[in-house]
């Protein structure tokens, strides 16, 4: 990154920019790359977490769009990469509406380009821990019709919410805002009970003062009373394996016949429907 953005403290790392760096992006500073390099150098193989999660998100959005969902709210969206939520959804529903939420001012700056690209896209600089402000934001009100089904996305964000900040209550809030037949996608760091988990968690805690790997049951509890769809909450690499579109319809391609790495098992995803 060669230019600074107003309001950005370049002396402190950003979760969004570290994630951007691990995905091969260029919208990051040296302080972010130092943290990213800790993962690539000291925890080789850990970058697979970021890639597995991103691919899981793309597949989930595509399936939601194919199911006719036209509205998306992406919590903690991070910086734009290839196959953003609005790009995936609008391949199938050109008028699909997407609101991105992130607290990093750089994300908002890049949002200006998204606004030029799509009139049905908004980017709001806000903290996911303040859902009421997001719900009442003029851009949300302008773009999202809460009388119709909405897909609410919490992709790799709730593990950055500490227990005392009520991650379950954030999901509950949005469940109360959307009608039946709305969907929730959640991906989350999963406790592995191994040195890799402990070391990766320690890096995040030391850097950001937050970062919580949760057990399978704790992740399941985040969904509350939602109906979790097949195949359940599983490692992201195994969530509804890649599909191809042909003249005959959708053809599923199963996962490669191999064991997942320890890192691939540390990120899980699930899709649920509000009855």
Do the domain assignments include residue 261? Answer: yes
* pTM assigned to the model: 0.84
Q: Residue 2: what pLDDT?
A: 37
Q: Is residue 10 part of a domain?
A: no
Q: Give domain status of residue 6, yes or no.
A: no
Tokens of 34: 């130092």
- Check pLDDT > 70 for residue 3: no
User: Does 70 reside within a domain?
Assistant: yes
pLDDT tens track for 169-194? 999 999 999 999 999 999 999 987 78
Q: Which of 132-136, 186-190, 204-208, 243-247 has the lowest mean pLDDT?
A: 243-247
Residue 215 counted as domain residue: yes
For residue 60, what is the domain's CATH number? Answer: 3.40.50.150
Total number of domains in the chain? 1
| C-alpha torsion sign, points 95, 68, 216, 47 | negative
User: Hey, what's the torsion of the CAs at 159, 67, 73, 185, to 10 degrees?
Assistant: -10
Is residue 138, in this structure, part of any structural domain at all?
Answer: yes
* Cα 224 to Cα 220: distance, rounded to the nearest angstrom: 8
Percent of the chain scoring above 90 in pLDDT: 50
- Which residue would you say has higher pLDDT here, 145 or 17? 145
Residue 49 confidence (pLDDT): 83
List the domain range (segments joined by +) for residue 61: 15-273
Is residue 16 within 8 Å of 79, Cβ to Cβ? yes
CA dist., res. 204 & res. 52, Å (int): 19
Instruction: Take residue 62 and report the two structure tokens written for it.
Output: 């595509």
Region 34-39 average pLDDT: 80
pLDDT of residue 241: 82
Domain membership of residue 27 (yes or no) is yes
In a domain, 3, yes or no: no
- Cβ(274)–Cβ(182) under 8 Å? yes
Q: Facing residues of 123 across strands?
A: 100
Q: What is d(CA 46, CA 186) in angstroms, rounded to the nearest whole number? A: 20
């Amino acid at each position: 990154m060669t230019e600074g953005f107003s309001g950005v403290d370049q002396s402190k790392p950003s979760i969004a920019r570290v994630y951007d760096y691990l995905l091969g992006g260029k919208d990051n500073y040296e302080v972010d790359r130092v943290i990213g390099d800790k993962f690539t150098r000291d925890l080789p193989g850990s970058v697979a977490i970021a890639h597995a999660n991103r691919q899981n998100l793309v597949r989930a959005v595509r399936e939601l769009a194919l199911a006719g969902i036209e509205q998306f709210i992406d919590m903690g969206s991070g910086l734009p990469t290839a196959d953003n939520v609005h790009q995936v959804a609008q391949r199938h529903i050109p008028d699909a509406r997407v609101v991105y939420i992130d607290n990093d001012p750089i994300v908002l700056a890049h949002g200006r380009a998204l606004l030029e690209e799509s009139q049905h896209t908004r980017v709001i600089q806000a903290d996911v821990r303040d859902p009421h402000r997001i719900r009442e934001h003029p851009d949300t009100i302008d773009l999202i019709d809460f009388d119709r089904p909405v897909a609410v996305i919490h992709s790799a964000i709730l593990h950055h919410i500490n227990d005392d900040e009520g991650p379950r209550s954030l999901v509950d809030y949005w469940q109360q805002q959307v009608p039946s037949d709305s969907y929730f996608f959640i991906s989350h760091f999963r406790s592995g009970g191994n040195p890799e988990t402990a070391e990766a968690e320690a890096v995040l805690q030391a850097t950001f003062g937050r970062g919580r790997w949760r057990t399978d049951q704790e992740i399941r509890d985040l969904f509350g009373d939602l109906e979790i769809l097949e195949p359940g909450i599983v490692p992201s690499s195994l969530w509804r394996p890649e599909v191809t579109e042909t003249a005959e319809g959708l053809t599923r391609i199963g996962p490669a016949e191999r064991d997942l790495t320890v890192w691939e098992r540390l990120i899980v995803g699930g899709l649920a429907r509000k009855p």
